[in-house]
Structure 1
Amino acid sequence: MKRLDLTDRTTVITGAASGMGAEVARLLARRGVRLALVDRDGDALRALTGRLDGAATAHVVDLRDDDAVFATAATIRGEHPRINALITCAGSSMLGTLQQLTMEEMRWLADVNLWGTVSITKALLPALLDEPAAHITHLASVYALAAPAGRIPYALSKFAVRGFSEALRHELEDTTVTVGAVYPAGVRTGIILHGRYAATIDPAVAARAASAQAAMYHTEPRDAAERIIRATEQRRARTMIGREARLIDLLTRAAPSGYWRVMRKPLREATDTTTPIS
């Protein structure tokens, strides 16, 4: 498969105001790639765009709003007539057990992580299909390979992103557009520390669990961003980021119904949202 050349075209990045999305934007801007950056945090997005020396346009939108997403996609197409890459980094996290979480809380995360990804992909697909070669990179998670306790809404949404990516890749196999998913483990973006938790959880307990999870993260955002860009240029279908992701990928293949016996102990504190603070 021919390597994708991102120069002289536009790459659209969601979740671009912070975390891995912002790092991907910075690295691509330094290479002279045109960018359309999407995020709901207008202040942070405009601040980032202003530091990229005119290489990017900012598009503020809540990806849960389908009408706004399609309107934004139309604006992006008007400003960037040649789009050959979409990288979806937007997402959030949610702590809590099924008994602690409400349906509304779980639906909120699915709307952000899954339906926001589906919506922007559907809205921009016609533009990508107009190109001689294009690629879509969806940010999944190591928790799209293995589903831990205490992370039902997050694992649910990320497994669904994985399924969406694979089905869409098969659907587009006779077109010029390829699709891939990236599976990061332990990237130091702060997503877990700034994510949400069930309203029924003691904030101190949630903070303890989030801190325990964050302490397990080892990959720097810039390193993850470089891997995401490489996966997009190489039009890879499946990319693991971090040693833990590769190990969990092997573990779930070897023990598809028993991997939790191995993962339970290392994740005990990170998944404990019930034990009171003494």
Structure 2
Amino acid sequence: MQRLALAGSTTVITGAASGMGADIARLLAASGAHLALIDHNAEALDAVAAELAGTTVTTHVVDLRDDDAVLAASADIVAAHPRINALITCAGSSMLGSLEQLTMEEMRWLVDVNLWGTVSITKALLPALRSAPAAHITHLASVYALAAPAGRIPYSLSKFAVRGFSEALRHELEGTSVTVGAVYPAGVRTGIILHGRYAAAIDPAVAARAASAQAAMYHTEPADAAAQIVRATERRRARTMVGREAGLIDVLVRLAPRSYWKAMRRPLREAIDTTTPIS
């Protein structure tokens, strides 16, 4: 398969104002890529863009849950960037809580952000990507798209769906100039869990304890994850594991698809505990 040349062409990055998205933007800018950066946080997005002096970069403040806003921003991007050959979707959030604690509204919000935002921007930019001689779409899924832990139902639900969307789209575009891949990060120190949402029914102190326990298990630096994601995009990989736990969980689920939770339950016990009061 033809390797993707990102230098001199445009990569669109969602969730570009922080975490892996921002580090991907920095890496690509250093390699000579043009960038269209998308995020809902205007101030943080401008700060990232300001770091990239000398780079062809545009910023687009968009709530990816708003399909009309996504279409308008995509039209602006295509007008400003005639050669788009990569889309990397990093936008997403987390949600703590059990099914009994979460409301339908809370769960729908997360699915709208993580799944439908990903679908919307992909659909909007697909015509531009298909017009390129070679293009690649990289969707960030999660290790929780491989294994579904207790206490993370809406997050895992949304990421399993992103995985399914990525695989189905890859098959749909087979034989075209566009390839599709999914990345499965585990334990990246982005702050997503600490800055994510939790069910309103949970005591904030209990939610903070669970989030801290989860964050303590993260080992991969965002810049290292970003480098792997850029490499996967350049090489147009269909499946990429990021972080030492991701490969282990992938193997565990394959070997024990019905009982993998027995091995995962103990290390995650504090991270999924959203009920025990703070003493």
What does residue 273 of structure 2 align with? Answer: 272
TM-score under structure 2 length normalisation: 0.99
What does residue 158 of structure 2 align with? Answer: 157
Q: Percent identity?
A: 79
SS at match of 1:85: strand
Equivalences for residues 118-133 of structure 1 within 5 A = 118-133=119-134
SS at match of 1:104: helix
Q: Give the drift of 1:231.
A: 0.2
What does residue 31 of structure 1 align with? Answer: 31
Equivalences for residues 37-186 of structure 1 within 5 A = 37-55=37-55, 56-186=57-187
Task: Report runs of 4+ in structure 1 exceeding 3 Å deviation.
Answer: none
Q: Give the drift of 1:32.
A: 1.3
2:235, 2:260 → 1: CA distance?
A: 31
2:223, 2:236 → 1: CA distance?
A: 20
2:168, 2:186 → 1: CA distance?
A: 23
Equivalences for residues 198-277 of structure 1 within 5 A = 198-277=199-278
Match for 1:38: what amino acid? I
2:275, 2:150 → 1: CA distance?
A: 12
Match for 1:140: what amino acid? A
SS at match of 1:58: strand
1:16, 1:67 → 2: CA distance?
A: 20
SS at match of 1:59: strand
SS at match of 2:12: strand
1:258, 1:46 → 2: CA distance?
A: 46
For structure 2, which runs of at least 5 residues remain unmatched after alignment?
none
Q: Give the drift of 1:54.
A: 4.3
Deviations 1:250-269 (A, max 9, x none): 00000011000000000000
2:199, 2:9 → 1: CA distance?
A: 42
1:123, 1:107 → 2: CA distance?
A: 22
SS at match of 1:90: coil
Match for 2:91: what amino acid? A
Backbone CA RMSD of aligned residues:
0.5
For structure 1, which runs of at least 5 residues remain unmatched after alignment?
none
Match for 1:129: what amino acid? R
How many residue pairs are counted as aligned between the two chains? Answer: 278
